[in-house]
Structure 1
Amino acid sequence: MIEDWRQRRAAKRITSGDGRALKRLRWWQLPFRALFYLTLPNGDGRQTEYAVDIPRRIDSEGGKARAHLYLDGRHHAESKLPAAFPVEGGTIEMAISAFGLKRCHYVTTAGAQHRLIPDPRSAEGRRARVEREHPTLSRSISHLSALILLVGVGLNLLQLAEPMSRIPPIAESIGTFESPVRLPIWLNFALAVGAVLGSAERALRLRYGVLDRAGK
């Protein structure tokens, strides 16, 4: 029931495309644009190519980022994010976080989920190539980003707990807490930057979880 309600809301955000051609992704657009592809059979023996273009900018009118759906290279539809575009045999679903994409999947009517393929020239595509061609290096980067995020979030929560425990209603009910960790401002800043970078790296792999939400 909740899923049906989400689908109806997503459908209301979709508007028709203008038929313009899909522009090639340029190297200088890496921080500002994500591009993914999905190829599906269209029932007559041919294949249809869908492309999802997601500029990493806020829409000046609606205040939210938009996703653009291209059908065989032509602008077919667009929607504010999170978005769900109906396509052959299912739906393309997209969502973003403060650090990048957290979802770009094709969900079939049977419920199977498949990640779309990133453009090889995009930041997500380049990260996928590292994972494919250098799996050991990729795993090391993944583990490092998760560790940095875990340490940064954990230490910041410890330090945040102390002033929060001094709020009168909380202090009266559970007592006060004294953080065992007191870090200099520069180290707190470095941990915050590290947490952002860790979440950004995970976003390139469409990974998003509790740690990423806490790292905002």
Structure 2
Amino acid sequence: MFKEWRRRRAVRRVKPGDGRALQRFRWWQLPFRALFYLRLTHEEGRRTVYAVDVRHGQNQSSGRVRAHLYLDGRHHAECRLPAAFPVQGGIVEVSMSDFGLRRCHYVTADGTEFPLEPDPDSAEGRRARLDRAHPALSRGIGFLSALVLVTALALLVPQLVGPLTQVEAVSRHVGTFTSPVRLPTWLNIAIGLATLAASTERALRLRYSRLLDGAAG
């Protein structure tokens, strides 16, 4: 129920496009642009190509990140994230995490979901190409990313919780907690950087876990 209400609310925010042409992906846009495609075939055999273009150089929390929907190469609609674009046969949902795209999926009328296809020149497209060319290596990288996040969760969270319980208003209700983990500053920084890399890698595959990636953010 809540998910459907949130989807309808996102659809109401969609604004019509201005018809401008879709710009090709440039290599220097790798860190801050995502471009995905949805190719649909009509009953009469005619094909329609939707493109979702997101310039995510700014964090979503600023409220200024927008997704742009192109239809056959022309600007069709736009919406601030999270976005839900009505398209042929369903809705395209787009949302972000702190590390990149969290979701870019086509949801059909019967609820079936399909991730959109990334542009081959984008960071997401290059990661997908690695997965196709070297599946074993790709699985290893994915496993390592998850392992890094689990390890960071186990090491960093106790160190953060400890000082919070020293606050009188908190300790009065839950008591105090002394972290069994005390790492030097340089190691905490290194773990933080590894966590950033792991979460970014997962975002390139549109992988998101509220526990792992949400805690990292």
- Are 1:10 and 1:82, in contact at CA under 8 Å, matched by a contact in 2? yes
Q: CA deviation at 1:172?
A: 4.1
1:107 aligns with 2:121: no
Q: Which residue of 2 aligns with 1:140?
A: 140
Match of 2:86 in 1: 86
State the partner residue of 2:196. 196
Task: Give the Cα separation in 2 of the matches to 1:181 and 1:8.
Answer: 45
Q: 1:172 to 1:3 in 2, by over 3 A?
A: closer
User: How far has the Cα of 1:174 moved from its partner?
Assistant: 4.4
CA deviation after TM superposition for structure 1 residue 32, in Å: 1.3
| Aligned residue identity for 1:76 | H
The share of aligned pairs that are identical, in percent, is 57
Give the Å deviation of 1:5: 2.1
Q: Partner residue of 1:163?
A: 163
In the alignment, what sits opposite 1:55? 55
Asked if 2 retains the 8 angstrom alpha-carbon contact of 1:58 and 1:66, the reply is: no
* TM-score normalised by L of structure 2: 0.93
Structure 1's unaligned 5+ residue stretches are none
Which runs of 5 or more residues in structure 2 are unaligned?
none
In structure 2, distance between residues paired with 1:173 and 1:75: 54
User: Quick one: distance in 1 between partners of 2:147 and 2:8?
Assistant: 39
Contact 1:83/1:94 (8 A) holds in 2: yes
Return structure 1 stretches of 4+ with deviation > 6 angstroms: none
Q: What are the Cα deviations for residues 85-134 of structure 1, in whole angstroms up to 9, with x where unaligned?
A: 00110000000011000100000000000000000110000001111110
- Give the corresponding residue for 1:177: 177
How is 1:55-74 mapped onto 2 (pairs within 5 angstroms)?
55-58=55-58, 63-74=63-74
How far apart are the structure 2 equivalents of 1:15 and 1:30? 26
Q: 1:213 and 2:192 equivalent?
A: no
The answer to which of 105-114 and 158-167 deviates more is 158-167
For the residues of structure 2 that align with 1:174 and 1:91, how far apart are their CA atoms? 45
Q: CA deviation at 1:44?
A: 2.7
CA gap of 1:174–1:92, structure 2 versus 1, over 3 A, is closer
Deviation at 1:175, TM superposition (A): 3.5
AA partner of residue 199 (structure 1): S
Contact 1:153–1:195 under 8 Å retained in 2 = no
**Could you tell me how far apart the structure 1 residues matched to 2:3 and 2:202 are?**
26
* Alpha-carbon distance, 1:182 to partner: 1.0
CA distance in 2, matches of 1:208, 1:177: 30
Structure 1 CA distance for aligned equivalents of residues 19 and 43 of structure 2:
23
Kept in 1: contact 2:63–2:81 (CA 8 A): no
Q: Is residue 202–residue 208 contact of structure 2 (8 Å, CA) maintained in 1?
A: yes
The superposition leaves residues 150-170 of structure 1 with CA deviations (integer Å, 9 ceiling, x where unpaired) of 111221111122212223344
Q: Distance in 2 between matches of 1:183 and 1:58?
A: 31
Inter-partner Cα distance in structure 1 for 2:106 and 2:19: 22
Distance, in Å, in 1 between the alignment partners of 2:150 and 2:165 is 22
